[in-house]
Amino acid sequence: MKTESILVCGGGLAGMATALGLKKAGFEVSVLAPAYQPMALAEQQYHPRVYALSAASQQFLERLGAWGLMRSERITPVNGMELYGDGDGFVQLDAWQNAQTTLTWIVESGELERALYQALQVFSVPWHQDLFADLTANGVLTQSGQTLPADLVIGADGARSLVRSKAHIEHHSTPYHHDGVVAHLNIELPHQNMAYQWFTGDSVLALLPLPDTNEGPQVSMVWSTQAQQAQDFMALDESAQQQHIQRLLGALTQHRLGKLRLRSKPFAFPLTLERSAMIAPRVALVGDAAHRVHPLAGQGLNLGLGDIEELIRVLQDKPSYQSVGEQRVLERYRRARLEPVLAMRLVTHGLHQLFATQVAPIALARNVGMKLVDKLPFIKRHLIAGAAGKIGF
Ligand SMILES: Cc1cc2nc3c(=O)[nH]c(=O)nc-3n(C[C@H](O)[C@H](O)[C@H](O)COP(=O)(O)OP(=O)(O)OC[C@H]3O[C@@H](n4cnc5c(N)ncnc54)[C@H](O)[C@@H]3O)c2cc1C
């Protein structure tokens, strides 16, 4: 019997993890994407994008063999979280409250990409350096005019997925009219391996712990704020940005971590809520090509890794008389992802809406609610398990 072939379009984190997982599960798989280009970082310089990985993602990457390829000194375990409302709302979550040692791990995108790429090379996964252009009757057409055969095409080509549009997969996108601004900061006081998040009427500020530097303790900032405010900030020169961080974000954090100082160039991204039907005959989507959520819960990549784990499980468990690209096989994948994707969308979107409203009774209720949650061990255990990816929130 002919071995079926799978083509993964996209060489980001989702594409690389998919190809590696499928290869390790015994499938014939290759990647179609532009050449992997690592970002050159000076000593003590950290990749601008970092991820808070759940325990479920950490275990999956461990099984893929990629976790152990990352430098341990670049991985920061997070032992707890402090969440602040815009009034006096406050919730503290500690890993030990749910008998865990670590809540999440902060890893740099570049470090994870390097580990996944290295593992793909160890397993000799072919990488076609080209771009997906269209679907054909039995494979894909690349931008340079090659045809590549494939029984299943996996779209891991990000939020603007061309695979998704060529396969006519239904897709909805809702802009938040907010941008996410990311940068690394030096802080005055030690972060104590805690993650901090402040919810205000018009923004969410997250400070995630990173390794200490020669200039002092360091955090990664993810500041989701109104698009105009983010653009005004990005238009400032470096010293004005520095002042802005100290003044505005210093006041917002009530100097919880002492003085804040920018140590990297900030980047801004528009934030959207996106969902898709995830499959078509011979096509499945994973990662941002399939869905996108608000970064306030830091769950986008965790959700994408969950897709990949499920897709591999469905393909491994299918009866041998069914093809990898068959609609009823892919339908099992789509159904299995419905609930976790919906749950994450509801949590992130719900939190965004709850904190975006300025209506006085709701603003009061959310702060009272936070204080209440802080006093209820059962709910706290539930939230901690959610952060670990153990339940669908
Ligand atoms: C501000 C911010 C903070 C975030 N923080 C977190 C966090 O803390 N934790 C978390 O889990 N998630 C987080 N996320 C979400 C996370 O960044 C994404 O979910 C993740 O990067 C998506 O990876 P991906 O591989 O699906 O897509 P991408 O990273 O977009 O990769 C797509 C790949 O496809 C390739 N490609 C594009 N077009 C083609 C084509 N035609 N043919 C072939 N290849 C193509 C591209 O070159 C690229 O390599 C955050 C997002 C934002 C915006």
Q: Which residues of 259-294 are buried (b: 16+ CB within 10 A; e: fewer)?
A: ebbbbbebebbebbbbbbebbbebbbbbbbbbbbbb
Sign for the pseudo-dihedral over CA of 357, 363, 365, 366:
positive
**E strand residue ranges, 42-192:** 50-53, 76-78, 80-84, 90-94, 104-108, 127-129, 132-136, 139-142, 147-149, 152-155, 171-187
Local confidence band at 392 (pLDDT 50, 70, 90 cut-offs): very low
Minimum-distance ligand 1 atom for the alpha carbon of 131: 42
Predicted pLDDT at 265:
94
- Per-residue pLDDT tens over the stretch 257-290: 999 999 999 999 999 889 999 999 999 999 999 9
- The response to whether residue 158 sits with its C-beta less than 6 Å from ligand 1 reads yes
Range with lowest mean pLDDT among 123-127, 172-176, 247-251, 384-388:
384-388
Local confidence band at 233 (pLDDT 50, 70, 90 cut-offs): very high
- Per-residue pLDDT tens over the stretch 104-140: 899 999 999 999 999 999 999 999 999 999 999 999 9
pTM: 0.89
Query: Has residue 243 got a pLDDT over 90?
Result: yes
Local confidence band at 355 (pLDDT 50, 70, 90 cut-offs): low
- The response to whether residue 12 sits with its C-beta less than 6 Å from ligand 1 reads yes
Max CA-CA distance within the chain?
67
Task: Name the closest-CA residue to atom 52, ligand 1.
Answer: 295
Taking the centre of ligand 1 as the mean of its atom positions, its distance from the CA of residue 163, in whole angstroms, is 15
Minimum-distance ligand 1 atom for the alpha carbon of 305: 11
Predicted pLDDT at 309:
97
Backbone angles phi, psi at 156, to 5 degrees: -125, 40
The overall average pLDDT reported for the chain is 89
Taking the centre of ligand 1 as the mean of its atom positions, its distance from the CA of residue 268, in whole angstroms, is 14
Query: Has residue 202 got a pLDDT over 90?
Result: no
Answer for the pair 30, 130: CB distance below 8 angstroms, yes or no.
no
DSSP letter assigned to residue 245: I
- Per-residue pLDDT tens over the stretch 357-379: 555 555 655 666 666 556 556 55
Taking the centre of ligand 1 as the mean of its atom positions, its distance from the CA of residue 52, in whole angstroms, is 14
* Size (the chain), residues: 393
